[in-house]
A and B are shown apart, each in its own frame.
Chain A
Amino acid sequence: MIMETNSSQVLVEANRVAKQYPVAQGWFKPPASLYAVDGVSFRLAAGKTLAVVGESGCGKSTLARLVAMLEPPSSGDLKIDNIQIDQASRSDLKRIRPMVQMVFQNPYASLNPRKKVAAILDEPLAINTKLNKFERKETGLAMLAKVGLQAEHYSRYPHMFSGGQRQRIAIARALMLDPKLIVADEAVSALDVSIQAQVLNLFMDLQESNGLAYLFISHNLAVVEHIADEVMVMYLGKIVEQGAKRHVFDEPLHPYTKALLASMPRLTAKFPQKRSMLHGELPSPLNPPPGCPFSNRCPHKKDACSAAKPALQDFQGRWVACSRIAEIA
């Protein structure tokens, strides 16, 4: 089930990780169970970028929350730095938590408006390190310089910054404890095009200088194509295709990946062009279609597709979940 990575150090290893939420159906009915993430396996090596793409409701943000240890998985093994999260001791967890940090989508909501940048950057150090006040300020100022802000910004409030600058502050906050993994959940989606390029460059520079690994979640395929090493395509909580970026973008195998890439508005396309290959919308995860979750929208559907859930299989050096992949590829 698990993708082989050549790199020596595996930072995150997930094996059939699932997250299930109970959903109330009414007063007298038992709650239904919703699988937001269903049997997801992957490895992320240190210093690499794994991008997760998919439509809204496919479970990419839940996966981010699991990896960031904001929520425990309902089943499956999640190892970070070779430590199994659900069996880890308190001291182990205290060691791992600073290694994984998160950057959120909306920098207008993710920074506390009542705290100055100084306090925002100071807090992680005050809680997790034994540095004194002056050393903490020094580290904070150095971090501001690193993310491209000036020393005078240190004593300002978040509302005094533009969106791009705020996202830089959020990134600086995530970097304060020298993490090994940044979970970026739609971190550039709320930014304008010219600012988005600045922040993406910052992400790539930091990866080079600090050896950061990214779990990069985005619905913007052009951004993913630029930044990722490996791409994971999710649909209704499951992985449908996973592989090296160049392979996935140049020659998508799974019908869903094909449709997703075909839907992407391209600048080179000539007008008019037939765009959509997909009909209908993502079905409710409470009531997924039987068998293959994609079967109700798939152009290659056969009766057998509704019979059994296709397993993720190795096909031409990639992982694809489609029972008819050998015929349609």
Chain B
Amino acid sequence: MALLEIENLRVMFGSASRPLRALDGLDLCMEQGEVVGIVGESGSGKSTAGLALMGLIDYPGRVTARRMSFADRDLLMMPESERQTLRGKDIAMIFQDPLASLNPCFSIAYQLEETLRVHQAGTRAELRSQTLALLRLVEIPDAEQRLDAYPHQLSGGMCQRVMLAMAIACNPRLLIADEPTTALDVTVQAQMLELLTGLQKQRGMALLLITHDLGVVAQVAHRVVVMYAGQVMEQGRVPDIFDAPRHPYTQALLASLPEYNVGRKRLATIPGNVPSQHERPQGCVLHPRCSNAQEICQTLVPDPAEFPNALVRCHFPLDKTVSPCKQNLTA
């Protein structure tokens, strides 16, 4: 039995007559202890997916799904009070900007204890010692002194560690990390990723990593979901997708990275821009920017097609053997 099962998850904003599809049909299945990365450009709906899983999409947003269950419990049908006990305990989330997600008016210890207070009982001394242990777990130096510090007294990297401590305080089974390292420097990002994957393995958590950085996904995730304009273009195992993507978008996205263009001056590009929510094209959302687009792509939305270990939403998926990415990378 999978930990998380999602079928055809949609999130819509705007009026009923003119809906804006922020997320348009996400299928995702996660096992206990698995790391799945969601990548995409801005506006692809990757953060919306994370928020929908947490149940943080408010009116006027509408969340629908054919099936959305966590540990065999239906997330959409359960009452809000039950959802509230799940949120922060079994499903936890960390956000991109740690300084904006911590409350500047309260100390680190208070904010960490709050999470514990909501989900479990304990005396003040117990809570404090648990908080201290959490800070030590996320490798914050001089943890005793940092307990009563306020967020502005800590650096961005330290604040993100505090956020992580808060998220894992109640031993969640699923951790959603939305761009956890985007605001950090590369050296601090490397430390943070190591800490995150270390804790994930040690506790057997499932980790859903939302990022725009393909390098981060390649290093951390087992499986990857590639999103574009609210739709899943391709999902599959990391080595398969990075070596030989089947979807033209994944292929073009990888080809536009400097890493895949070693020894060449000009970078391969994807012409045009990501369409805004108001101007999603008919048919396949990618077709105006796709080099392989044909007539059928302009009218008919492709259904996700199944391949061994992969799902691809394209009328003309690429043949694995002719994908040029791998050669450029090793050249």
Contact = CB atoms under 8 A, between A and B. Distances in A.
A198 B272 CA distance: 9
A192 interface: yes
A219 interface: yes
Interface stretch (B116-124, B260-268, B311-319): B260-268
Interface in A216-255: 219, 221-223, 225-227
A269 B193 CA distance: 14
B253 A193 contact: yes
A194 B242 contact: no
A272 B202 CA distance: 14
Given A165-B273, A266-B219, A276 B194 contact: yes
Contacts of A204: 265-266
Interface in B251-276: 252-254, 256-261, 265-270, 273-274
B267 A260 contact: no
A197 interface: yes
B62 interface: no
Given A165-B273, A273-B219, A281 B266 contact: no
B291 interface: no
A275 B188 CA distance: 11
Interface stretch (B8-16, B92-100, B105-113, B208-216): B208-216
B213 A265 contact: yes
B265 A264 contact: no
Nearest to A261: B186
Contacts of B238: 271
Given A193-B212, A193-B253, A265 B219 contact: yes
Nearest to A256: B187
Interface residues on A, range: 35 or more
Contacts of A279: 191
B191 A276 contact: yes
Interface string B134-173: 0000000100000000000001011000000000000000
Contacts of B273: 162, 164-165, 195
B214 A193 contact: yes
B73 interface: no
B66 interface: no
Contact of B215 (A164, A194, A267): A267
Contacts of B214: 193, 267
Interface string A261-302: 011111111011111101111100000000000000000000
Interface in B264-312: 265-270, 273-274
A197 B267 contact: yes
B64 interface: no
Interface in B7-46: 41-42
Contact of B267 (A200, A267, A271): A200
B222 interface: yes
Contact of B269 (A201, A221, A225, A267): A201
B311 to A, nearest CB: 21
A55 B155 CA distance: 13
Nearest to B181: A265
B329 interface: yes
B266 A201 contact: yes
A222 B258 contact: yes
A274 B267 CA distance: 30
A222 B259 contact: yes
A259 interface: yes
A196 interface: yes
A33 interface: no
A155 interface: no
Contacts of B186: 55, 219, 221, 260, 263-265
24 contacts: A56-B185, A165-B273, A193-B212, A193-B253, A193-B257, A194-B270, A195-B41, A197-B258, A219-B186, A226-B258, A226-B261, A260-B187, A263-B189, A265-B193, A265-B213, A265-B219, A266-B215, A267-B218, A275-B194, A276-B187, A276-B190, A276-B191, A278-B191, A281-B187
Given A222-B215, A227-B258, 19 more contacts: A55-B188, A162-B274, A163-B42, A164-B273, A193-B253, A196-B256, A197-B268, A204-B265, A221-B186, A225-B258, A226-B267, A260-B187, A265-B215, A267-B242, A275-B190, A276-B190, A278-B190, A279-B191, A280-B141
Interface of B: 41-42, 141, 155, 157-158, 185-191, 193-194, 197, 212-216, 218-222, 238, 242, 252-254, 256-261, 265-270, 273-274, 329
